[in-house]
Amino acid sequence: MVIKHIELVPPLVEAGKFSELVRSGHTVSASFSPSNNSLAVHLAPLESKISATEEHEEGVYFASCDDIPSSERRLFIADTLVIFSMFKSMLKDAKLRDPSWLRTSQAMEIIRKLSVDYVNFIKECWIHASQPLSRPEPLQFSVEHYRSLYSTFSLFVVLFIPEPGYEDAPVGEELMEWLNIHFIEPSTEEGDQLSSLDRPWEDENFWPYLTRSTIRGLSKALLFFLNNLLQHPSEDLQDLIKILIPLVESHPRLPQYTTERDFAYSSRRWKDKVKALRMEMDRIPEESRFDELYDWWDPLSDVVGILEGRGEVIQRVCEELGADWKEVCAAWGIFVDTRLRRQDLPDVAAEILEAMPPDPTSLEDMMLSYLFSGHPAQVLKHASIFDSWLSAHMADIMEPLGLLETDLNSESEVTRRDQYVLDYADYLRSDPTLWRITVAYLYSCGKVGEEQADELMMRVPLQLNASDLDSRSHPRLDSVAEAVKEVSALCREYGRESVRRAVCKIASVTLMRSQDYGLAISYSISAEDWIGLGRIIDAVLNEYIQSGPVVFASHASKIAPLLDETHSSLRTEEIFAHRLMFTVRYSQIHKMRLEHDYSNAASELLVLLRDEIAPRSWWPILLCDSIEFLQYNSQLLFSSSDAIELLRKLEEIFIRSSQGSGDDYLTVLVRIVKGGSEKEALERLKTVRLAIARYFVRCAPGIK
């Protein structure tokens, strides 16, 4: 297990002072953030008696478990999500079809295309990272890191996601192409240097260059220098080269052929010709095999040996040249076994790796060796140490290809693929602003991922902007709405209704606290949180009691447009619809009153009382309000039967209060009247009775 070290910068404790600090009874405390994998770290006393030392500031650190992605890495993360999402939607479609569809060439074509997209994207990042640009911040991942990603992912595609129809084709050419792209040898500089010489064969790099070009199948470079050798003083050598040049020129390579049969036939015939050359070589007497400077026969024999496809020669030459097992494996498919299949490669690779083991200190070499020898699980294990991005995305493709076991682990109850994707998501969580990307990965990981993503969604801060913090008491409503909208949309996309409701509930409470009752109500309806809705209605009505009708009317006017919405969705929650309707209609009475529309205000007030839309505790308030209408001089606003209705309600209040049920009727009025007792409330209601009596007098014919 690799233990990761986290360093605090600047250090909490000066170098060398740590044990001193511990001896003085202090220690370090860490607790996890509830929203991501960061820790709050601070010095603390081990025993309660210990007090602060003078030299330490009482500071709190936030330590992240992972390196927080830099801008260049964030770009990489965001852009590869696009490919990941396409892959996911392809798998989703596949699920709806016949399960065997994933094995069809149509599916393979899509998988290959998306995998190649990853490769191309990594390549671009690598090129970008290699450019000597001035950057706002240093690269978090080195050019070398991107190069390793590129070589590993490319090889994965070459070996495991061949072009449909070519699964059973020989793999040698593709492997050599891969090697030549990712591990360039011999270098162009060497070639340039040698070609500038008159007698290049006298240079010590000459033969190694020639041999390496042979192994790599670089016939152009090889031919150039073979032609040079025609000037060599040894006539024997010249003769041999004259035979060798047309052989190199006619080396059959698979891409030149339309059928493998033709290729195999040509290869056999060509090899016979190489054998003939070998015989020619062997005829050269020992004493003619070198000139005054050096032996030319042995290196030429190596070149011919490679062309003959002698495995032991290739292996030895590679060792001498400082090339590794990869080179031997690739050359194997070009020279030794020209018809080497993907499925046979692991056996060949295993043998070569036994003689030439991979570099255990290089994760890249380990991943590549496990790809060659066909151990996907081992590839992922090393990839996860190298970069969790790589293990997650390879595992994501490996699973549908059938390269990974899909059983749930009995301990953790997640699949191997999910484990790697969850690890990557864990890493993404080091940057809370990446939450959208993080949930996209989490929601692809079964129940465990879903639950983690749910928690993350619920922790998306509803106050998005830093400026909100300055005006905390009034969170910017649009930003709350924006955040809720975004989270809701994602919840719908991922089918997480309970999360959407929970977030709406929190938003509703937040908005109620900032007195934005309209939005608060629409969120509580959206969350189907009826108890919460009741609380908001109470808060709106409370505005009347606390701040009077003007403030109340302005708040309630924002609710009015919601009434239609509630009617349709509140069918099952009559009681709340009823209370909401009362609140809105009652506020409208005040609005009419303020606009001097007394006639309509009075008749609406009567309806609220007569149809008992108003809760009993609000009857006294409405009755008190009616005084203004009863005393309105220009016009009689109530019919006499209306007035009788008012009186009936008033009497009910008096009678029930005398029977001890005052609490049902008087609680609201009690809060408004001075003194705040039931007695005072009833006193106030007596003025209503008086107003009604006077109104009857006005109504009586003749007196008017």
Partner 1 sequence: MPSATVSDSVPIETAHEDMIHDAQLDYYGKRLATCSSDRTVKVFDVVDGDASKTSGGHTLKGHTGPVWQVAWAHPKFGHILASCSYDGKVLIWKEQQGSGGWSKVGEHTLHTASVNSVSWAPHELGAMLACASSDGKISVLTFKDDGSWVADIFNGHAIGCNAVSWAPAVLPGSLITPQQQSIPGQQPQTQSVKRFASAGCDNLVKIWGYREDSQSWIEEETLEGHADWVRDVAWAPNIGLPKSYIATASQDKTVLIWTKETASSPWVKTALDPASAIASPSPASGTSGKFPDVVWRVSWSLAGNLLAVSCGDGKVTLWKENLKGIWECVSDMNS
Which residues in 23-42 contact partner 1 (CB under 8 A)?
Answer: 26-42
Dihedral of CA atoms 144, 148, 154, 156 in degrees, nearest 10, equals -170
Q: Is 446 helix (H, G, I), strand (E, B) or coil?
A: helix
Q: Is 134 helix (H, G, I), strand (E, B) or coil?
A: coil
614 strand-pairing partners: none
How far apart CA 668 and CA 307 sit, in angstroms, is 102
Residue 157 one-letter amino acid = V
Closest separation in Å from C-beta 443 to partner 1 = 12
Closest separation in Å from C-beta 396 to partner 1 = 18
Please tell me whether residue 196 binds partner 1 under the rule CB under 8 A: no
Closest separation in Å from C-beta 434 to partner 1 = 12
Q: If residue 40 lies in a helix (H) or strand (E), which one and from where to where?
A: strand 38-45
Interface residue with partner 1, options 64, 70, 193, 667 (CB under 8 A) = 64
Closest separation in Å from C-beta 496 to partner 1 = 11
Q: In angstroms, how far is CA 129 from the centroid of its own chain?
A: 22
Interface residue with partner 1, options 54, 55, 58, 286 (CB under 8 A) = 58
How far apart CA 620 and CA 662 sit, in angstroms, is 11
Which distant-in-sequence residues (6+ apart) come within 8 Å of 599 by Cβ?
A: 635, 637
Q: Could you tell me the two tokens for 164?
A: 């449909």
Site for partner 1 in 510-549 (CB under 8 A): 510, 513-514, 528, 535
Site for partner 1 in 569-608 (CB under 8 A): 572
Residue 134 one-letter amino acid = S
Phi/psi zone of residue 25: left (φ > 0), alpha (ψ -120 to 50 degrees), beta? Answer: left
Please tell me whether residue 641 binds partner 1 under the rule CB under 8 A: no
252-260: Cβ within 8 A, 24+ apart: 253/173, 253/217, 254/169, 254/170, 254/172, 254/173, 254/338, 255/173, 260/169, 260/170, 260/339
Please tell me whether residue 9 binds partner 1 under the rule CB under 8 A: yes
Interface residue with partner 1, options 411, 564, 574, 611 (CB under 8 A) = 411
Closest separation in Å from C-beta 155 to partner 1 = 20
Q: Which is nearer to partner 1, 68 or 264 (CB)?
A: 68
Decide the pairing of beta strands 38-45 and 26-32.
antiparallel
Closest separation in Å from C-beta 518 to partner 1 = 18
Q: Which is nearer to partner 1, 29 or 554 (CB)?
A: 29
Q: Is the dihedral of CA 332, 334, 335, 337 positive or negative?
A: positive
Q: Which is nearer to partner 1, 397 or 456 (CB)?
A: 456
Please say whether the beta carbons of 668 and 621 come within 8 A. Answer: yes
Please tell me whether residue 55 binds partner 1 under the rule CB under 8 A: no
Piece of the chain touching partner 1 by CB under 8 A; list 174-182, 305-313, 495-503, 581-589? 495-503
For residue 477, CA distances in Å to 36, 461, 467, 529, 542 come to 26, 13, 12, 20, 22
Q: What angle do CA 371, 376, 381 make, to 5 degrees?
A: 100
Please tell me whether residue 192 binds partner 1 under the rule CB under 8 A: no
Asked if the peptide bond before residue 186 counts as cis, ω within 30 degrees of 0, the response is yes
Q: Which is nearer to partner 1, 506 or 699 (CB)?
A: 506
Q: Which is nearer to partner 1, 51 or 259 (CB)?
A: 51
What's the full length of the chain, in residues?
A: 704
Closest separation in Å from C-beta 350 to partner 1 = 26
Please tell me whether residue 409 binds partner 1 under the rule CB under 8 A: yes
Q: Which is nearer to partner 1, 309 or 532 (CB)?
A: 532
Piece of the chain touching partner 1 by CB under 8 A; list 370-378, 500-508, 587-595, 690-698? 500-508
Closest separation in Å from C-beta 172 to partner 1 = 32
Q: Which is nearer to partner 1, 112 or 500 (CB)?
A: 500
Please tell me whether residue 1 binds partner 1 under the rule CB under 8 A: yes
Site for partner 1 in 432-461 (CB under 8 A): 432-433, 446-452, 455-456, 459-461
How far apart CA 260 and CA 230 sit, in angstroms, is 35
Closest separation in Å from C-beta 163 to partner 1 = 34
Closest separation in Å from C-beta 541 to partner 1 = 15
Q: Could you tell me the two tokens for 331?
A: 């050359």
Please tell me whether residue 6 binds partner 1 under the rule CB under 8 A: yes
Interface residue with partner 1, options 21, 352, 421, 636 (CB under 8 A) = 21
**Can you spell out the DSSP letters for 490-508?**
HHHHHT-HHHHHHHHHHHH
Please tell me whether residue 57 binds partner 1 under the rule CB under 8 A: yes
Q: Which is nearer to partner 1, 302 or 426 (CB)?
A: 426
Which among 299, 302, 297, 271 has a CA at the least distance from the CA of 284?
Answer: 297
Interface residue with partner 1, options 505, 558, 585, 590 (CB under 8 A) = 505
Closest separation in Å from C-beta 473 to partner 1 = 5
Q: Which is nearer to partner 1, 50 or 644 (CB)?
A: 50
Q: Is 409 helix (H, G, I), strand (E, B) or coil?
A: coil
Piece of the chain touching partner 1 by CB under 8 A; list 92-100, 149-157, 315-323, 467-475? 467-475
295 strand-pairing partners: 290
How far apart CA 631 and CA 637 sit, in angstroms, is 9
Please tell me whether residue 133 binds partner 1 under the rule CB under 8 A: no
Q: Which is nearer to partner 1, 33 or 219 (CB)?
A: 33
Please tell me whether residue 565 binds partner 1 under the rule CB under 8 A: no
How far apart CA 574 and CA 558 sit, in angstroms, is 21
Please tell me whether residue 8 binds partner 1 under the rule CB under 8 A: yes
How far apart CA 121 and CA 83 sit, in angstroms, is 10
Piece of the chain touching partner 1 by CB under 8 A; list 46-54, 130-138, 173-181, 257-265? 46-54
How far apart CA 592 and CA 522 sit, in angstroms, is 25
Site for partner 1 in 329-368 (CB under 8 A): 363
Interface residue with partner 1, options 216, 501, 590, 649 (CB under 8 A) = 501
Interface residue with partner 1, options 472, 596, 674, 704 (CB under 8 A) = 472
Interface residue with partner 1, options 168, 413, 565, 651 (CB under 8 A) = 413
Which among 253, 270, 264, 117 has a CA at the least distance from the CA of 177?
Answer: 253
Closest separation in Å from C-beta 30 to partner 1 = 4
First to last CA, the chain: 100
How far apart CA 209 and CA 186 sit, in angstroms, is 6
Q: Could you tell me the two tokens for 681?
A: 């409330």
Please say whether the beta carbons of 305 and 291 come within 8 A. Answer: no
Closest separation in Å from C-beta 634 to partner 1 = 42
Q: Which is nearer to partner 1, 352 or 367 (CB)?
A: 367
Closest separation in Å from C-beta 435 to partner 1 = 11
Please say whether the beta carbons of 453 and 435 come within 8 A. Answer: no
Q: Could you tell me the two tokens for 2?
A: 């690799």
> Could you identify the residue written with the tokens 């830099």?
70
Closest separation in Å from C-beta 46 to partner 1 = 5
Please tell me whether residue 75 binds partner 1 under the rule CB under 8 A: no
Piece of the chain touching partner 1 by CB under 8 A; list 292-300, 493-501, 598-606, 693-701? 493-501
Site for partner 1 in 370-399 (CB under 8 A): 385-387
Q: What angle do CA 118, 123, 125 make, to 5 degrees?
A: 95
What number of chain residues touch partner 1 (CB under 8 A)?
94
Closest separation in Å from C-beta 577 to partner 1 = 13
Q: Which is nearer to partner 1, 130 or 498 (CB)?
A: 498
